[in-house]
Chains A and B, each alone.
Chain A
Amino acid sequence: MSKKIVATTSLAGCFGCHMSLLDIDEKILDLIELVEFNKSPIDDIKVFTKQCDIGLIEGGCCNSENIHVLKDFRKHCNILVSVGECAIMGGLPALRNGIPIKECLDEAYLNGPSVRHNHKGIIPNDDELPMLLDRVYPCHEIVKIDYYLPGCPPRAELIWNALVALVTGDELKLPYEVVKFD
């Protein structure tokens, strides 16, 4: 059986979900028998070099670059999985949802208690910078997502069980202890 090809990315996330994937400990050796990684921070491949079977998305969409990467993943991955609370519902970055973007930027760059050296009152607005979105979007509000793995981060066992199920085609095991939102 040829190995399934996996791609991963972190959008508006903290890399905690990727860390949780690495938390499968010695099973990582089984994992590399099972799958081959393509575009992913794990192997540092920066662009897709082939069509992938599975794409794991960490983080929601808070800026234009996140949207671009997510759409690229949808195009290059047959199955797309939202991994973690941020991908599923925006997570902690979405605490700003409901607050107008100007208020957020003013707080961050002008009025916040930790603002010190911004005497000219500049709010970063360079063309090179990705545009902030009006709010943080769950991934499934931008592209079609096939599966969801909740948790902050999802338990390593849940990610492992899901990968094994996707690779083997067996039903996903969902014991009570692995489905958690924190």
Chain B
Amino acid sequence: MSTLVNFKIDGVDCLAEAGIYLVEAAAENGIYIPTLCNIQGVKPRGACRICTVMVNGRPMTACTTPVTMGMEIQNDTPEINDIRKAIIEVLFVEGNHFCPSCEKSGCCELQALAYRFRVMVPRFPFLFPRREVDASNPKIIKDHNRCILCKRCIRAIKTEDGKNIFAYKKRGIELEIIIDPELGGKITDELAQKSVDICPVGALLPREKAYQVPIGRRKYDIEPIGIEDEKK
């Protein structure tokens, strides 16, 4: 049998199985810790830092930190939320996010976080980098303008025999996602769909399926991201 541990989030007494990650432990107690690069069930990466919380006074990523007995966690405080907001704003200015013409708009997790945190304007200057759209794959259109390098596609998408289809290319500010030309060229419909679904933004898009849900009925039109956790 697993052991249960007591811990506190923003002063609220919580209870969860020892060793599970803080984001999950919080969700089980009806508390939302925002995440972006994290995917449930896949080994966390700690790439985006949106889930930053204070654990016993020190900043930690809640998607990679296991819960232990007696932890004191700060989550929903003005300081931490402002750090999160700043990260969201950085992601907006360092790519090219033209939401009005983006197929993912309304279902995009980055945009949904910006809505939740009421980002009215980024505090940083827009970079407007020149990036390409790569439509060479028969099933997935890849738009580097919107990729936030969260690595979800690399971590979650594998062929049946466990090979990676997505990978990183180049370094630093030039870092980008590539699709293996051979494995990617043979990708099944199912896996292609899984790839575009797993991408939190509009960087991986399916062909001929744009704008199928009308404005007003898209995932984040009415209810904010994270509400599922808070409703528990």
Residue interface bits B58-88, CB-to-A below 8 A is 1, else 0 = 0000000000000000000000000000000
Cβ–Cβ < 8 Å partners of A97 in chain B: 96, 126, 128
Interface residues on B, range: 20 to 34
Residue with the highest number of chain A CB atoms closer than 10 Å, among B126, B215, B221? B126
Q: How far is the CA of A145 from the CA of B121 in the complex (A)?
A: 11
A94 and B115: CB pair below 8 A?
Answer: no
Q: Which residues of B contact A147 (CB under 8 A)?
A: 120
For the complex, what is the distance from the CA of A182 to the CA of B103, rounded to whole Å? 11
Q: Is the CB of B98 within 8 A of A95?
A: yes
| A179 contacts chain B at the CB level, 8 A cutoff | yes
- For residue B163, CB closer than 8 A to chain A, the reply is no
From the candidates A88, A95, A150, A177, name the one contacting B222 in the complex (CB within 8 A): A177
Whether B126 and A182, one on each chain, are in contact in the complex, defined by CB atoms closer than 8 angstroms, is no
Q: Report the bound CA distance from A157 to B109 in whole Å.
A: 24
Give the interface SS of chain B, mostly helix, strand, loop or mixed.
Answer: loop
With beta carbons under 8 angstroms apart, the residue of B121, B128, B130 that contacts A94 is: B128
Partner of A182 from B105, B116, B118, B125 at Cβ < 8 Å? B105
Q: For this complex, into which size category does the number of interface residues on chain A fall? A: 20 to 34
Q: Which residue of B lies closest to A141 (CB)?
A: B125
A98 and B100 contact, CB distance less than 8 A: no
A109 at the interface (CB under 8 A from B): no
The answer to whether B120 touches A149, judged by C-beta atoms less than 8 angstroms apart, is yes
A148-B126 in contact (CB<8A): no
Q: Mark A81-118, 1 if CB is under 8 A from B, else 0.
A: 01001001111101101110000000000000000000
> Which residues of B sit under 8 angstroms from A182, Cβ to Cβ?
99-100, 102, 105-106, 215
Q: Say yes or no for A71: interface residue by CB 8 A criterion.
A: no
Beta-carbon contact of B98 and A179 below 8 Å:
no
Are the C-beta atoms of A179 and B118 separated by less than 8 Å? Answer: yes
- When each residue 150-182 of chain A gets 1 if its CB lies under 8 Å from chain B and 0 otherwise, what string results? 101000000000000000000000101101111
Query: Once the chains bind, are A91 and B130 in contact (CB under 8 Å)?
Result: no
Q: What is the CB-to-nearest-CB distance from B65 to chain A, in angstroms, rounded to a whole number? A: 29
Contact call A148/B106, Cβ cutoff below 8 A = no
B101 at the interface (CB under 8 A from A): yes
Q: With A92-B98, A98-B96 known to touch, is A181 a contact of B111 (CB < 8 Å)? A: yes
A177 touches B221 (CB 8 A): yes
Alpha-carbon separation in the docked complex, A180 to B105 (Å):
10
- Select from chain A the residue with minimum beta-carbon distance to B116: A176
Contact across chains for B115 and A180 when beta carbons are under 8 A apart: yes
In angstroms, Cα B115 to Cα A176, docked, is 7
11 intermolecular pairs with C-beta atoms under 8 Å apart: A90-B128, A91-B98, A95-B96, A98-B96, A98-B130, A135-B128, A138-B121, A149-B120, A176-B222, A180-B115, A182-B99
